[in-house]
Amino acid sequence: MAQISSYPTLTPNLGDKILGSNNVDASGQPVIGNPTVQYSLTDIKTLVDQQFIQQLTSSSNDSGVAGIPASQGPTSTNTVHQIIFGQADSSSSTSVTIDATGKVTWLKTGTYYVTQEYYLQGTNSANILHTLFRTFDGSSQVGPTHAEIFHVENTSNTKRIVINQMVHITSANSYHVYQMLRDSNGANDGTLYQKLNNNGWTTTPNAQITISKLI
């Protein structure tokens, strides 16, 4: 076989093909043997052109709606609280849904980008809050634990927390929930609170989630 450098140079067309190694399948699982395969430039372009497109957003910004709390959090240290975001939404996206308890169901496999935003507040000045956040799939934790240490200097102080997470969903109809916990290394304090605003601006939610999919 001649060296690649000896072959003629041509301008590629989308219908052309190149050789490559198949390392993972469509669900992200390893392919045994990494076989050599052909890839069309059309398919490569489609893959490269993918972008994260927002699928849904849900927030606890209306305590007047049944089930949406003005504040939420664990009842004591080392007690897990499942975070509620807003009303159930099964119509905004064909890829993901959320129910009224904050349970996110992935209807399609793929890569998703999840942004969680919270407003944490203590009820007792001088308390030190050790608050933990995690994603849970019903049997195990997904990704790392996010820890927040907050020294409450004034009970009106609120700490904004943003957690960004990219997840690869390999099984349709699997689910994630989002949990928080007051670690016993800190005070038995720390709750998510809505913030009421003046001038007719809408309430700042205590919890919000935005989910985008790589398409």
Give per-residue pLDDT as tens, 164-181: 999 999 999 999 999 999
Is residue 178 domain-shared with residue 123, that is, in the same domain? yes
Residue 184 in any domain: the answer is yes
Residue 105 is part of which domain span? 52-214
Domain assignment present for residue 6? The answer is no
Residue 4 included in any domain: no
Number of domains in the chain: 2
**Does 199 reside within a domain?**
yes
Name the token pair of 93. Answer: 């996206």
Same domain, 178 and 209: yes
150 and 124 within one domain: yes
- 33 and 81 fall within a common domain: no
Indicate whether 132 and 167 sit together in one domain: yes
Q: How many residues does the chain have?
A: 215
Do 44 and 102 lie in one domain? The reply is no
> Is residue 65 included in any domain, yes or no?
yes
In order along its 215 residues, the chain shows pLDDT tens digits of 678 788 888 888 888 888 889 988 876 678 898 899 998 878 877 778 779 999 999 998 765 566 788 999 999 999 999 999 999 999 999 999 999 999 999 999 999 999 999 999 999 999 999 999 999 999 999 999 999 999 999 988 999 999 999 999 999 999 999 999 999 999 999 999 998 888 888 889 999 999 999 99
Residue 104 contacts residue 136 (beta carbons within 8 Å): no
Residues 78 and 171 both lie in one domain: yes
Residue 2 lies in a domain: no
Same domain, 143 and 59: yes
The answer as to whether 5 is a domain residue is no
Write the burial class of residue 87 (CB in 10 Å: 0-12 exposed, 13-18 middle, 19+ buried). Answer: middle
Residues 104 and 206 in one domain: yes
Contact 20, 34 (CB under 8 A): no
User: Both 105 and 197 in a single domain?
Assistant: yes
d(CA 138, CA 33): 33
Query: 7 lies in a domain?
Result: no
Q: Copy the structure tokens of residue 7.
A: 């072959």
Q: Among 5, 25, 48, which residue terminates a domain? A: 48
33 CB neighbour count, 10 Å cutoff = 8
* CATH code of 168's domain: 2.60.120.40
pLDDT computed for residue 101 by the predictor:
95
